[in-house]
């Protein structure tokens, strides 16, 4: 059994925490591909079934040792008391909604969140009598004005996708707590290697493990971490409703976590270099990246993030045609909506990830037709720049 030290650093926790070595004395974390677990006797079975906290293994929809190892490791990295793994990032957000909201409750949510998150609140939670108000993520007065006595939680993503705007997490947490609400943060873009929302005052953190936690584009998964009391509610939802993580995927994410800090530092270093280079290209009208000293929230970014992550966006003069021309001129970068991969991806948000918004909503969100998003990967920076060299000809 590995013993977890409270003072371990991020890399050590990512490599060593959560693994309870079995009697086989294995070095790496085993994959428990079993749907259920056996009992020593009828009385033992009855005793285990009476336990609803997830401390004993009964059935892999409830708990599984490989999944538990991932949950414990991610919770340790985020500085949380407990984690609950889910089948996807969206399942994590759904589980949070089901755990903390009742019919008639209201949510205040940043306008700049993942598209499916908007869809979940607007198309599905509404059917259960839950209303969501979308506000500008930087505008604290708007968050406050959207609250009433039915509001139960704030939901935010920072930095935002694709414009890299930041929410001031300590300020938002203070506002939430002054009104008795929970602050839920989607920490997908930063991961705990770069930003620890719970230390900044958040109550609950959600993740799409599909992105940087895996980091290599291999599997779909998610997680919720936070206080034991809150996670008991989330665990109850996942155990009962069933959006659980598969043990194989949990093992993939454990392998991903082992290199999380190294990767996030390398993504951040490449992204900063690319952002700086892009600013010097003649066809580029603006670059959005919180690591740039002239980003309007650079000081806040330095306060709440250890580095600035791998996602940036830039605007080319000439609108959609010019943006598409840049994308089509690349030969190495992957044209895909995904992000958080070791391979660099390039996207035109206005016609893909944000195409479902009305033109007015897109304009309000700052998603222009000339905007291109890059999730900077781990290739050599000179090769990424070379693949974008047609920018010079714009
Ligand atoms: C991808 C993503 C999600 C959803 O995660 P899935 O694993 O695809 O369900 C949620 N939030 C953010 C910020 C994401 O990028």
Task: Read off the tokens for 305.
Answer: 């993030």
Q: Where in the chain is the domain with CATH 3.90.1150.10?
A: 260-388
Task: Read off the tokens for 231.
Answer: 């996670």
Q: How far is the CA of 114 from the centre of ligand 1 (A)?
A: 7
C-alpha dihedral sign at 123, 125, 127, 129:
negative
Cα Rg, the chain, nearest whole Å:
21
Residue whose CA is at the smallest distance from ligand 1 atom 4: 89
Q: How far is the CA of 137 from the centre of ligand 1 (A)?
A: 18
For residue 91, which atom of ligand 1 is closest to its CA? 9
For residue 384, which of 341, 346, 337, 336 has the smallest C-alpha distance? Answer: 346
How many angstroms separate the CA atoms of 86 and 46, rounded?
Answer: 27
How many angstroms separate the CA atoms of 199 and 180, rounded?
Answer: 18
The pLDDT profile of the chain, 394 residues, written as one tens digit per residue, is 345 566 899 999 999 999 999 999 999 999 999 999 999 999 999 999 888 777 889 999 999 999 999 999 999 999 999 999 999 999 999 999 999 999 999 999 999 999 899 999 999 999 999 999 999 999 999 999 999 999 999 999 999 999 999 999 999 999 999 999 999 999 999 999 999 999 999 999 999 999 999 999 999 999 999 999 999 999 999 999 999 999 999 999 999 999 999 999 999 999 999 999 999 998 899 999 999 999 999 999 999 999 999 999 999 989 999 999 999 999 999 999 889 999 999 999 999 988 888 888 888 888 999 999 999 999 999 999 999 998 866 6
Q: How far is the CA of 189 from the centre of ligand 1 (A)?
A: 9
Report whether residue 157 contacts ligand 1, using a CB cutoff of 6 Å.
Answer: yes
Q: How far is the CA of 141 from the centre of ligand 1 (A)?
A: 27
Q: How far is the CA of 226 from the centre of ligand 1 (A)?
A: 18
Find all residues with CB under 8 Å of 358, minimum gap 6, and list them: none
Q: Which CATH class is domain 260-388?
A: alpha beta
**H helices, E strands: number in the chain:** 14, 12
Cis peptide before 162 (omega within 30 of 0): yes
Q: Where in the chain is the domain with CATH 3.40.640.10?
A: 3-258
Other residues' Cβ atoms within 10 Å of the Cβ of residue 358:
8
**At which residue do the structure tokens 């890059």 appear?**
374
Q: Which CATH class is domain 3-258?
A: alpha beta
Residue whose CA is at the smallest distance from ligand 1 atom 8: 89
Task: Read off the tokens for 70.
Answer: 């991932």
For residue 93, which atom of ligand 1 is closest to its CA? 10
Report whether residue 210 contacts ligand 1, using a CB cutoff of 6 Å.
Answer: yes
Other residues' Cβ atoms within 10 Å of the Cβ of residue 31:
18
Please give the model's pTM, rounded to 2 decimal places. 0.96
């Amino acid at each position: 059994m590995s013993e977890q030290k409270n003072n371990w650093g991020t890399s050590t926790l990512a490599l060593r925490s959560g693994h309870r070595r079995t009697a086989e004395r294995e070095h790496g974390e085993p994959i428990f591909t079993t749907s259920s677990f056996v009992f020593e006797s009828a009385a033992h079975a009855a005793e285990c079934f009476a336990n609803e906290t997830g401390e004993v293994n009964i059935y892999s929809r409830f708990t599984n040792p490989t999944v538990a190892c991932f949950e414990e490791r991610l919770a340790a990295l985020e500085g949380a008391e407990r984690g609950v793994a889910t089948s996807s990032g969206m399942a994590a957000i759904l589980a949070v909604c089901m755990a903390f909201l009742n019919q008639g409750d209201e949510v205040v949510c940043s306008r700049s969140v993942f598209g499916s998150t908007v869809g979940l609140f607007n198309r599905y939670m509404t059917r259960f009598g839950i209303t969501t108000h979308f506000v500008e993520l930087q505008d604290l007065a708007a968050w406050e004005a959207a609250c009433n006595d039915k509001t139960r939680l704030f939901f935010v993503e920072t930095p935002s996708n694709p414009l890299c705007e930041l929410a001031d997490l300590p300020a938002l947490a203070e506002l939430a707590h002054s009104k008795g609400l929970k602050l839920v943060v989607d920490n997908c873009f930063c991961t705990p290697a770069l930003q620890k929302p719970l230390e900044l005052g958040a109550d609950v953190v959600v993740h799409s493990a599909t992105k940087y936690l895996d980091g290599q584009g291999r599997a779909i998964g998610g997680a919720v971490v936070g206080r034991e009391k809150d996670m008991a509610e989330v665990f109850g939802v996942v155990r009962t409703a069933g959006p659980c993580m598969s043990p194989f995927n949990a093992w993939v994410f454990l392998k991903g976590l082992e290199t999380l800090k190294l990767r996030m530092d390398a993504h951040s270093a490449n992204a900063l270099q690319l952002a700086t280079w892009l600013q010097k290209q003649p066809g580029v009208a603006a670059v959005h990246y919180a690591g740039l000293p002239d980003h309007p929230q650079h000081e806040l970014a330095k306060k709440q993030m250890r580095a600035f992550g791998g996602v940036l966006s830039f605007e080319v003069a000439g609108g959609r045609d010019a943006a598409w021309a840049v994308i089509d001129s690349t030969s190495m970068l992957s044209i895909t909506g995904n992000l958080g991969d070791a391979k660099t991806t390039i996207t035109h948000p206005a016609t893909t990830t944000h195409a479902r918004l009305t033109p007015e909503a897109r304009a309000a969100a700052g998603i222009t037709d000339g905007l291109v998003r890059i999730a900077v990967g781990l290739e050599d920076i000179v090769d990424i720049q070379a693949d974008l060299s047609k920018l010079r000809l714009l």
